[in-house]
Homo-oligomer: A and B are copies of this chain.
């Protein structure tokens, strides 16, 4: 036999042992519960997509596909990519049924996404993301609702509003402002937008210098606009305030990287100084689907990643301490009684509760300690006497109370 195999996962991806998976399930369950409470319907697609889906928007995308994705030729010489983001896939699905769908539609998904990049803290090569979109409505109510959904997701994790800030901007308002300064060519506006994306990451002087190179006559006015923006509001922030969401500010420097946004854009920042970064972002786009046909379908949406979500929950101590143990542990006193234990467990499960049987070779005392350590609620010992009499004792590990009798009686006691 060859040398021993490594137990490490592939570089840049994560294993989820049960204690990690419990956190992951908590995150996915909260995402799902919140999205569905807003009437969003779940969709999915395969992680494998034809590579042309990502290349279609021109040379820049082709470079991204070639350098930052997992792309390979399959055995039929088709070029295939592990999806790096969900938007192209959902655009494909929406375009594929745009005639049958009753717009507006609210869709969400929790896909895994792959990016080939240098691994560093918080930068893994595979991560999961909650993607929520409202397609086919250009009403401001959709913008407000999508931000309210992002907000409510954090609240449903137990976050308080003072733990995070929703920053809002609007591409149309920015465009109107640039036009008012005489900056009207698209190229300059795109350059300023991309520079603004770095506003909080570079020195003020560096920002000003680069800005002057792009728009010599308008730099001071733009800088003033960005620096005074927190005192202002717009229709979206006022509507959010009306539904009780007030940890919101206009940030005119907010740019978002993607060129396809056309209206409202927003990001949510963790307020904790240890973790002060963007946790999620999204915005409104006019055209999701024209690559697939003649019709343009717009919408508004956001994406929220599992790694940043977990960092936020850990930073603010919002992860539940609940252990994963079954509610009832059935404990046979010796190996010869394991099958009797399975029989008892089957009866108790009929009450709709989770039941495990300790079929380890441990002694009774160690089994009782293990049940307590696992956070289980009850134990039921199965010994020779119990089997002979057909009467058992269910012990509550929290308060020590007991219920005795036939298994049907005990099942009733658990389920009531």
Tell me the complex Cα distance, A92–B141, Å. 49
* B52/A5 in contact, CB under 8 A: yes
Q: Which residues of chain A from 302 to 354 have a CB within 8 Å of any chain B CB?
A: 324-326, 329, 335, 338-339, 341-343, 345-346, 349, 352-354
* A339/B43 in contact, CB under 8 A: no
* B324/A354 in contact, CB under 8 A: no
Q: Which residues of chain A from 73 to 107 have a CB within 8 Å of any chain B CB?
A: 73-76, 78, 80, 82, 92-93, 95-97, 102-104, 106-107
* B43/A17 in contact, CB under 8 A: yes
What distance in Å separates the Cβ of A352 from its nearest Cβ neighbour in chain B? 8
Q: Which residues does chain B contribute within 8 Å of A102, judged by CB atoms?
A: 360, 370
Q: How many copies does the complex hold?
A: 2
What distance in Å separates the Cβ of A20 from its nearest Cβ neighbour in chain B? 8
B-contacting 9-mer, from A7-15, A191-199, A208-216: A7-15
* B42/A21 in contact, CB under 8 A: yes
Q: Which residues does chain B contribute within 8 Å of A47, judged by CB atoms?
A: 47, 112
A207 at the interface (CB under 8 A from B): no
Among B42, B107, B145, the residue within 8 A (CB) of A342 is: B145
A202 at the interface (CB under 8 A from B): no
* A93/B38 in contact, CB under 8 A: no
Given contacts A4-B293, A355-B39, A46 and B13 within 8 Å (CB-CB): yes
What distance in Å separates the Cβ of A255 from its nearest Cβ neighbour in chain B? 25
> Chain A, 38-66, contact with B by CB distance < 8 Å: what is the 0/1 string?
11011111111110110010000000000
Tell me the complex Cα distance, A360–B292, Å. 24
B-contacting 9-mer, from A173-181, A221-229, A238-246: A238-246
Q: Which residues does chain B contribute within 8 Å of A114, judged by CB atoms?
A: 48
Tell me the complex Cα distance, A4–B293, Å. 6
Among B5, B76, B116, B329, the residue within 8 A (CB) of A291 is: B5
Tell me the complex Cα distance, A74–B22, Å. 30
What distance in Å separates the Cβ of A349 from its nearest Cβ neighbour in chain B? 6
* A13/B141 in contact, CB under 8 A: no
Given contacts A346-B148, A355-B38, A356-B106, A21 and B43 within 8 Å (CB-CB): yes
Among B10, B22, B38, B39, the residue within 8 A (CB) of A80 is: B10
Q: Which residues does chain B contribute within 8 Å of A112, judged by CB atoms?
A: 46-47
Given contacts A112-B47, A141-B338, A326 and B10 within 8 Å (CB-CB): no
Given contacts A37-B354, A141-B342, A10 and B48 within 8 Å (CB-CB): yes
Q: Which residues does chain B contribute within 8 Å of A46, judged by CB atoms?
A: 9-10, 13-15, 112, 126
A165 at the interface (CB under 8 A from B): no
Q: Which residues does chain B contribute within 8 Å of A8, judged by CB atoms?
A: 96
Top 3 A-B pairs ranked by shortest CB distance?
A: A39-B356, A7-B96, A39-B326
Chain A positions near chain B (C-beta within 8 angstroms): 1-2, 4-11, 13-18, 21-22, 24-25, 36-39, 41-50, 52-53, 56, 70, 72-76, 78, 80, 82, 92-93, 95-97, 102-104, 106-107, 112, 114, 116, 126, 137, 139-142, 144-145, 148, 152, 239, 242-244, 291-293, 324-326, 329, 335, 338-339, 341-343, 345-346, 349, 352-357, 359-360, 370
- Give me 26 A-to-B residue pairs in the complex whose CB atoms sit less than 8 angstroms apart, sorted by A's number: A4-B291, A5-B53, A5-B292, A9-B45, A9-B46, A9-B92, A10-B48, A10-B78, A11-B76, A18-B42, A18-B43, A22-B42, A37-B353, A37-B355, A38-B326, A38-B355, A39-B325, A39-B357, A41-B324, A46-B112, A47-B112, A48-B70, A70-B72, A72-B73, A137-B359, A141-B339
